[in-house]
């Protein structure tokens, strides 16, 4: 087994709040410079940039998980991670079926463009991607696990768009694989403040919206190989796989 450095929460230019320099090629190039072994593209309510990022990253030895930062009906942000194209497509259908048809205003919210490996625009997504889905957090969690993905409530200790800010606590019946905490948060302090939780696995990611943020925060994992199954074992402290911090 070996240590893998992972940043599992990176936004691209597809996210309306993502910088226009966050193209798939720029993300991959910077991930390589910053010695990341695993990345996940987690645009708001979309998985569409996952395939092109994987195509660019694989020749450089960087593993890419397909992801999305879903906004639930309660306006809770959750990381949803997948391994295969089939999983990604199925989850994208779920998002499309539950995303309100509220048009984006690029001048107010930002552009939402899908580009290819040469930064050429292929599509502009018309529906506002930062809207809350019509599905609640438990329904999103169940769908992710139904597709054999990983479900991780995002930046749970932030004052906006987190499960704690929106609900006041983390529901005891929520079947999460880990919790993402803010980069400046001390894990033990968080656990002390939320002692009702049964010692959850805590991870950190960059939540990068700008190039200089990529890999600025990451988590290291002890894995046999960079697969989602191996990551799942690490998050659940199984078979010698673990989160190193």
pLDDT (tens digit per residue) in 190-235: 888 888 888 789 999 999 999 999 999 999 999 999 999 999 999 9
Domain 2-243 has CATH 3.20.20.140: yes
The predicted-structure confidence for 80-128, as pLDDT tens digits, reads as follows 999 999 999 999 999 999 999 989 888 888 888 999 999 988 899 889 9
User: Which of 128 and 63 is assigned the larger pLDDT?
Assistant: 63
Q: Give me the pLDDT at residue 67, please.
A: 96
Q: Which residue, 229, 178, 231, 183, is CA-closest to 39? A: 231
A 10 A CB-CB count for 27 gives: 29
Cα separation, 228 vs 102, in Å, equals 33
CB 145 within 8 A of CB 175: yes
Q: Which residues pair with 203 in a beta bridge?
A: 180
- The C-alpha angle with vertex 124 and arms to 122 and 126, in degrees rounded to 5, equals 150
For the chain, domain boundaries: 2-243
């Amino acid at each position: 087994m070996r240590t893998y450095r992972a940043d599992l929460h990176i936004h691209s230019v597809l996210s309306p709040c993502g910088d226009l320099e966050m193209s798939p090629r720029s993300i991959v190039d910077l991930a390589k410079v910053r010695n990341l072994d695993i990345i996940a593209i987690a645009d708001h309510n979309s998985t569409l940039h996952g395939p092109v990022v994987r195509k660019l990253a694989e020749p450089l030895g960087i593993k890419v998980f397909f992801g999305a930062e879903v906004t639930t009906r309660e306006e809770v942000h959750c990381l949803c991670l997948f391994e295969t194209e089939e999983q990604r497509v199925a989850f994208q259908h779920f998002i499309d079926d539950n995303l309100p048809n509220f048009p984006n205003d690029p001048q107010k919210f930002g552009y939402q463009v899908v580009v290819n490996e040469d930064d050429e625009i292929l599509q502009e997504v018309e529906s506002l991607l930062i809207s809350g889905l019509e599905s609640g957090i438990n329904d999103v969690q169940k769908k992710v696990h139904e597709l054999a993905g990983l479900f991780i409530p995002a930046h749970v200790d932030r004052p906006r768009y987190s499960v704690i800010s929106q609900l006041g606590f983390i529901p005891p019946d929520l079947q999460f694989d880990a919790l993402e905490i803010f980069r400046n948060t001390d894990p033990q302090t968080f656990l002390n403040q939320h002692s009702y939780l049964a010692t959850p696995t805590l991870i950190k990611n960059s939540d990068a919206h700008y190039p200089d943020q990529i890999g600025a925060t990451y988590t290291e994992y002890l894995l046999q190989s960079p697969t989602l199954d191996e990551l799942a074992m690490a998050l659940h402290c199984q078979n010698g796989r673990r989160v190193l911090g």
